């Protein structure tokens, strides 16, 4: 592709022809602020915060949307540009609530940060009429406050163009414009899949996760409860990013920090990731050998499950009946562990720390209960855990490393990589290969499923020379495109791994703000590093898993396993969250 030469604030740079002014500024290492821009999507240029001055042009131009031209002279910080940027932010603030002290995004709000950067220290206009809308707390995962919405459109675009759900959109005109679900319904009654990608990208507090932290503090303060916490693999990778540690270092310090919070027992969701592999791998082989709906589709991602219930009910029988690792651990704690420890199940409270807002929805599903009641009692996100550490005044840098409890806490490297797209498939194939051949595969045999390509494919040759083709997909928009091909008979697979969030759990809606492809790849790399450094790298060799089958579960897909570790799903309307006929 041809190159062009432009100048940004006097710095000459060369970029690809067709690139934008924003790309030119970045090439010149000049920061231009943006609010509405989403990397990888067509620019909308709606907020105008990125406006710049170009020599020979009378009007200011949006850097995100305006193509750069050869010889263009660009200035990003002239008095005219700064005055315009300041005025646009003042206009947004004029209709924004003044509750920053109480907002969940305080100190981590793009609008607040930009106001500070341009030197806004007082309100430019007296408060007049304001938009006033009721908060929507109906969802178990997401809280909507339309009064804090600045109409940047990021949530609408991520929900539609990336996730393919389109649960929200713009409505009204002028002063009455705002973002809402169809017919102004509550979010819980729509096709929202609770993935939280809208929360992750919202620049203000208009969309935040529903916090369960207050409930967790109540459990911890009540001595009548035995409190158990579990943490997903992607959480430790994110904590490492926040605190400048490796995934292994963050994991060890997190175990101590959770005990300092007051939890009686600290377990690892990676343990039940290994358990999921034993069940799901056996399920795949059973369907291949004895007949059953293929492709077998993974069921670890609750956002994907609800998406399938709404838009692909004809494939519900293809979903693995395995509960997710989160739910499996809750069921194991309240049954197997409670019996072994002599603790009444009704006195046990299981709290999950997850990278995912949809896990809050999953924990409340009626299908996720056993004889001991709800498998998981509360779910907090990675962001909520960091807030809890802040509330405690905990200095994560100085905390001593610790360990998970051994019973239900020991895991393999295969369990660690569950948090990255392709990780479930790779972990499962390691064990399926062993079940078929009696040998373990090489360390790089299934690395074809790694990376951030939207759809990846892999093949496994069975001893009888039968070839099983599999696919790995992340992001629900990619999942929709793949499932449409499968439905049309254009693609045939034995198994499909689907993760709702871009990059998998490491890119979950409950992770620290500021996600992009580079960060997602880095977090995934931390999980693969944990796997590489583990002596135990195969789920089927985890001694705690083998012990659980020997002492309690019996065998994969056995009666006890089905009662505790498997579930069913139901079809839902394509227009609301109403249930339809039971499909699985």
Q: Which residues are catalytic?
A: 280, 283, 300, 320, 359, 362, 367, 505
Tokens representing residue 146 in the block: 């339309």
> How does 354-383 read in b/e, with b if 16+ C-beta sit within 10 Å?
bbbbbbbbbbebeebbbebebbbbbbbbbb
Residues whose CB is less than 8 angstroms from the CB of residue 528 and which lie 6 or more positions away in sequence, other chains included = 417, 420, 450
Closest Cα partner for 275 from 319, 309, 326, 236?
326
Neighbouring CB atoms inside 10 A of 184's CB total 12
Residues whose CB is less than 8 angstroms from the CB of residue 319 and which lie 6 or more positions away in sequence, other chains included = 297, 298, 299, 305, 308, 569, 584
Closest Cα partner for 154 from 106, 208, 198?
198
Kindly state the helix (H) or strand (E) to which residue 3 belongs, with its residue range: strand 3-8
Kindly state the helix (H) or strand (E) to which residue 275 belongs, with its residue range: helix 269-290
At which residue do the structure tokens 């056995």 appear?
558
d(CA 574, CA 84): 44
Closest Cα partner for 510 from 335, 363, 316, 403?
363
Distances (CA, A) of 241 to 152, 236, 545: 28, 9, 30
DSSP state of 312: -
First and final C-alpha spacing in the chain: 51
Query: Do 421 and 472 form a contact (C-beta atoms < 8 A)?
Result: yes
For 130, what's the count of Cα atoms within 13 Å in the CB-facing half-sphere? 18
What's the distance, CA 509 to chain centroid? Answer: 4
3-state secondary structure 501-559: CCCCHHHCCCCCCCCCHHHHHHHHHHHHHHHHHCCCCCHHHCHHHHHHHHHHHCCCCCH
d(CA 129, CA 487): 51
Closest Cα partner for 25 from 57, 61, 1?
61
């Amino acid at each position: 592709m041809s190159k062009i030469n432009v100048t940004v604030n006097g710095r000459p740079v060369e970029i690809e022809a067709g690139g934008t002014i924003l790309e030119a500024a970045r090439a010149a290492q000049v920061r231009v602020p943006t609010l509405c821009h989403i990397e990888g999507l067509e620019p909308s240029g709606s907020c105008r915060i990125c406006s710049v001055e170009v020599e020979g042009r009378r009007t200011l131009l949006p850097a995100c949307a305006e193509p750069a031209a050869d010889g263009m002279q660009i200035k990003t910080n002239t008095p005219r540009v700064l005055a315009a940027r300041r005025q646009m932010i003042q206009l947004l603030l004029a209709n924004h609530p003044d509750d920053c002290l109480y907002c969940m995004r305080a100190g981590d709000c793009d609008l607040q940060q930009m106001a500070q950067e341009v030197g806004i220290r007082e309100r430019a206009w007296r408060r007049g009429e304001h938009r006033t809308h009721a908060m929507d707390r109906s969802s178990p995962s997401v809280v909507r406050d339309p009064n804090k919405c600045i109409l940047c459109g990021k949530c609408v675009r991520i929900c539609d163009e990336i996730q393919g759900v389109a649960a929200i959109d713009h409505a009204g005109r002028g002063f009455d414009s705002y973002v809402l679900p169809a017919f102004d319904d509550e979010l819980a009654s729509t096709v929202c899949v609770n993935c939280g990608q809208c929360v992750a990208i919202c620049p203000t507090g208009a969309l935040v996760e529903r916090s369960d932290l207050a409930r967790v503090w109540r459990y911890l303060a009540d001595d009548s409860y035995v409190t158990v916490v579990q943490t997903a693999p992607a959480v430790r990778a994110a904590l490492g990013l926040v605190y400048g540690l490796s995934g292994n270092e963050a994991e060890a310090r997190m175990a101590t920090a959770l005990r300092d919070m007051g939890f009686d027992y600290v377990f690892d969701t990676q343990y039940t990731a290994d358990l999921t592999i034993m069940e799901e791998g056996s399920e795949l082989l059973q369907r291949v050998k004895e007949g059953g709906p293929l492709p077998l589709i993974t069921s670890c991602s609750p956002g994907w499950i609800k998406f399938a219930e709404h838009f692909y009910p004809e494939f519900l029988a293809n979903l693995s009946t395995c509960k997710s690792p989160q739910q499996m651990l809750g069921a194991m704690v309240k049954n197997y562990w409670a019996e072994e420890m002599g603790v009444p199940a009704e006195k046990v409270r299981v709290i999950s720390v997850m990278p995912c807002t949809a896990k809050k929805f999953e924990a409340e599903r009626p299908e996720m209960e056993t004889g001991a009641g709800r498998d998981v009692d509360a779910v907090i996100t990675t962001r909520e855990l960091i807030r809890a550490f802040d509330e405690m005044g905990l200095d994560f840098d100085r905390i001593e490393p610790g360990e998970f409890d051994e019973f239900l806490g020991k895991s393999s490297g295969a369990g660690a990589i569950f948090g990255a797209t392709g990780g479930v498939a790779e972990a499962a194939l390691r064990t399926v290969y062993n079940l078929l051949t009696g040998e373990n595969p090489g360390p790089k045999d299934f690395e074809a499923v790694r990376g951030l390509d939207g759809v990846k494919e892999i093949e496994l040759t069975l001893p009888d020379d039968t070839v099983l083709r599999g696919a790995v997909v992340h992001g629900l928009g990619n999942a929709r495109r793949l499932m449409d091909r499968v439905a049309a008979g254009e693609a045939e697979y034995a198994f499909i791994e689907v993760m709702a969030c871009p990059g998998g759990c490491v890119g979950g809606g409950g992770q620290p703000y500021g996600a992009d492809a580079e960060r997602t790849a880095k977090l995934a790399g931390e999980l693969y590093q944990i796997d590489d450094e583990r002596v135990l790298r195969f789920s089927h060799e985890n001694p705690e898993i083998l012990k659980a089958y020997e002492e309690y579960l019996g065998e994969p897909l056995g009666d006890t396993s089905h009662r505790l570790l498997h579930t069913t799903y139901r079809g839902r309307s394509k227009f609301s969250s109403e249930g339809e006929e039971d499909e699985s």
